[in-house]
Structures are given as structure tokens and as C-alpha cells.
């Protein structure tokens, strides 16, 4: 059982109306009462979980809880044969006032800061209590009367079933009401944040270009160390060279294979540098060129060590061309 500790509990309807959630991600739905005073909700048959009443004279928001947060409220239309609305994990609040400019009570789409802050206190309690993500719908909000009826912002049945976060009566399927109007000041619409800034993307592109050049240089280094000692570069000269080795063919093969293994490991390391550099590039002070130069130097040193080791393993007699 969850009762808001700073809400008035004198207008509860739990005993008069039973109900239980049937599923759905936890979500919140905001309404406006289109009145200037606390409604009666037809004896509770159309009541939300909370009604938030702005006291304009004292600049505070008073909350009245009507149903426990662990069970559904009754402020939404639920048609036969479609989706569940009230029961689909929906925590509901009614804002006493209007979504119509010049309507009764406080005009909530342009509410003063004290009203927004007062309402947010109850919304944040509901978020913690019900596990509702603190953001508005991705399709945004429409002002009334553009929000009435079948609009671009009203959820499809599947969209409603899968949504987690806050929305308005104007977003709920099987309903046509357009309240609470544009409430983007009260509920933040999520925006997709880019993985990197444009400057970081440019820097990463520079790194990728330099890494491609580095790969080419690694290929050349392989040629130099695997075949370059005797100036053997063409296929015909390689064939003549291998033919003259005779009983040292296996030693030569092992020598080249070891060099090739090192090269493959080096290339794998070079390829692995790219995601690492991407992570580093997220810092605005990273010098992409300096990183690439350092990697290239490390690879050159690795090949130098391989060359020295292979030279030490050669037999006493020089290979004949």
C-alpha cells in the first residue's frame, strides 16, 4: 500500500471501487479538470490517483489522494475489446485548472514557477513510488484544441502498451480528450543525444584515415622483413630463391611464419586501437595525430625486434640467391 505522505487522504475512494493493474510498463497520465475547484468525480467513479489543487493566494499546490498507488484509478475511458487504459500501469493525476486559454482556474500550459515546482513534488514522489521514468512522450505535446481527437501524438495501442514515462490524456488510445494541452514545461520530452560532438566526429574521422595509412605501412614492413633481406620482391625471384635453399626450406618457412604471426598480431592490435581511440576522442583535448604516431612507432619497434631475433636464428652460411 502506498499513500503519498504529504497528500490529503480525506477523499479516498478505494473502498467504493475495486481494481488491479493488469500489466504494462509503469507510466503516468496527466489531466486538467477544467474547473477552478476540486471536482467530485461522480462519487469517485472517474477519479485519478491524485488531484493537485493550486492555491493561487498562497502560491502552493495541495495534493489530494483518491486511490492507493498500487492499484489503478478511473479517470480514463476504457473501451471494450481494445487495450487496457486505466489498468495498464497508469498512475494518474488531475491538475485543477484548464488547458484552454481563458478557461476556469489556472492555465497550466503557462503555469507560474511556484505551480510547476509544487506539482513536481508530487510527480517525483510518484516516480519513486511507481518507478515511472521522469520524461514526457517522444512525440511531444500539442496545445488544445489541436490535441483533441485522433492526432499525431496519440499512441497506437501497441505504443501505449510498451510506453514507460509520463504523457497526457491527449496521448491515450481509446480516448479523445485533448487535456492537459502542452505540458512540456512540467514533463521533459527526451531528446536523442549524439554519441559525439561534431568536433569529436571530425577528430575520429581523422584518426580512421591515419589508421588506414598505418595499415598500409604495416603491410610494407612485412614485405621488408619477410622478403627484403636479399631484395627478393617478385614472384619469380621468390621461386628461384626458395628453389636454391634445398634442405633449409623448412627453416625459411618457419622464419616467415613467425614473422607473419607477429604481423597478424600487430595488425590485430592496430585494428583494436580504433575503438580505444574513439573512447579517447570523446575528450576534447586528445591529439588524434599524436596517438597515431605513437602507435606507428610502437609497431615499427615491434618489427625491429622481430628482425633482430630472426637474424640471430639464421644459419652460419648466407642463403644463396
User: Do 35 and 112 have their domain in common?
Assistant: yes
User: Do 159 and 279 have their domain in common?
Assistant: no
Give per-residue pLDDT as tens, 15-27: 999 999 998 899 9
User: Do 32 and 153 have their domain in common?
Assistant: yes
Q: Which domain holds residue 72?
A: 27-171
Tell whether 5 is covered by a domain: no
Q: Any idea what the CATH number is for the domain that residue 145 is in?
A: 3.40.80
Q: What is the reported pLDDT for 190?
A: 60
Q: What is the reported pLDDT for 204?
A: 72
Q: What is the reported pLDDT for 188?
A: 79
pLDDT: which is higher, 246 or 125? 125
Q: Which residues of 275-298 are buried (b: 16+ CB within 10 A; e: fewer)?
A: eebbebbeeeebebeebbeebbee
Tell me how far apart the alpha carbons of residues 122 and 107 are, in angstroms, rounded to a whole number.
19
Give per-residue pLDDT as tens, 63-86: 999 999 999 999 999 999 899 999
Mean pLDDT, the chain, as a whole number?
Answer: 82
Decide if pLDDT at 226 tops 70.
no
135: closest CA among 191, 63, 61? 191
User: Do 49 and 136 have their domain in common?
Assistant: yes
φ, ψ dihedrals at 56, nearest 5°? -65, -35
**Distances in whole angstroms, Cα of residue 279 to Cα of each of 194, 200, 212, 224, 246:** 14, 10, 18, 33, 51
Domains contained in the chain, number: 2
Tell whether 157 is covered by a domain: yes
Q: Between β-strands 165-168 and 60-65, what pairing exists: parallel, antiparallel or unpaired?
A: unpaired
Tell whether 300 is covered by a domain: yes
Tell whether 48 is covered by a domain: yes
User: Do 207 and 158 have their domain in common?
Assistant: no
Tell whether 20 is covered by a domain: no
User: Do 57 and 143 have their domain in common?
Assistant: yes
pLDDT: which is higher, 197 or 242? 197
User: Do 249 and 165 have their domain in common?
Assistant: no
Bridge partner list, 53: 62
User: Do 164 and 242 have their domain in common?
Assistant: no
Candidate from 150-159, 169-178, 220-229 with smallest mean pLDDT: 220-229
User: Do 210 and 278 have their domain in common?
Assistant: yes
The model's pTM: 0.61
Tell whether 191 is covered by a domain: no
User: Do 213 and 167 have their domain in common?
Assistant: no
Tell whether 209 is covered by a domain: yes
User: Do 162 and 211 have their domain in common?
Assistant: no
241: closest CA among 318, 307, 312, 310? 318
Domain boundary (171, 190, 220) is at: 171
User: Do 243 and 158 have their domain in common?
Assistant: no
Give per-residue pLDDT as tens, 173-208: 999 999 999 999 999 766 556 666 777 777 777 777
Decide if pLDDT at 318 tops 50.
no
Tell whether 11 is covered by a domain: no
Amino acid at each position: 500500500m502506498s499513500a503519498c505522505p504529504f497528500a490529503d487522504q480525506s477523499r479516498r475512494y478505494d473502498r467504493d471501487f475495486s481494481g488491479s493493474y493488469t500489466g504494462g510498463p509503469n507510466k503516468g497520465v496527466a489531466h486538467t479538470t477544467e474547473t477552478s475547484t476540486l471536482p467530485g468525480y461522480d462519487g469517485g467513479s472517474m477519479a485519478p490517483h491524485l488531484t493537485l489543487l493550486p492555491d493561487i493566494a498562497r502560491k502552493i499546490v495541495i495534493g489530494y489522494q483518491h486511490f492507493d498507488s498500487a492499484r489503478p484509478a478511473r479517470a480514463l475511458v476504457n473501451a471494450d475489446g481494445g487495450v487496457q487504459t486505466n489498468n495498464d500501469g497508469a498512475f494518474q493525476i488531475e491538475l485543477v485548472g484548464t488547458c484552454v486559454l481563458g478557461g476556469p482556474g489556472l492555465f497550466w500550459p503557462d503555469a507560474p514557477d511556484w505551480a510547476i515546482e509544487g506539482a513536481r513534488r508530487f510527480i517525483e514522489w510518484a516516480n519513486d513510488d511507481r518507478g515511472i521514468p521522469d520524461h514526457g512522450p517522444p512525440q511531444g505535446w500539442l496545445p488544445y484544441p489541436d490535441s483533441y481527437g485522433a492526432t499525431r501524438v496519440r499512441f497506437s495501442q501497441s505504443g501505449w502498451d510498451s510506453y514507460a514515462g509520463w504523457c497526457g490524456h491527449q496521448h491515450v488510445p481509446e480516448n479523445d480528450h485533448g487535456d492537459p494541452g502542452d505540458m512540456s514545461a512540467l514533463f521533459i520530452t527526451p531528446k536523442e543525444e549524439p554519441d559525439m560532438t561534431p568536433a569529436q566526429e571530425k577528430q575520429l574521422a581523422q584518426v580512421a584515415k591515419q589508421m588506414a595509412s598505418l595499415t598500409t605501412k604495416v603491410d610494407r614492413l612485412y614485405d621488408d622483413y619477410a622478403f627484403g633481406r636479399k631484395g627478393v620482391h617478385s614472384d619469380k625471384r621468390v621461386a628461384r630463391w626458395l628453389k636454391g635453399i634445398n634442405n633449409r626450406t623448412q627453416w625459411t618457412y618457419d622464419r616467415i611464419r613467425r614473422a607473419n604471426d607477429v604481423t597478424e598480431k600487430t595488425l590485430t592490435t592496430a585494428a583494436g586501437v580504433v575503438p580505444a581511440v574513439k573512447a579517447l576522442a570523446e575528450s576534447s583535448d586528445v591529439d588524434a595525430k599524436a596517438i597515431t604516431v605513437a602507435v606507428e612507432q610502437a609497431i615499427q619497434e615491434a618489427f625491429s625486434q622481430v628482425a633482430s631475433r630472426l637474424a640471430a636464428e639464421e644459419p652460419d652460411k648466407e642463403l644463396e640467391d
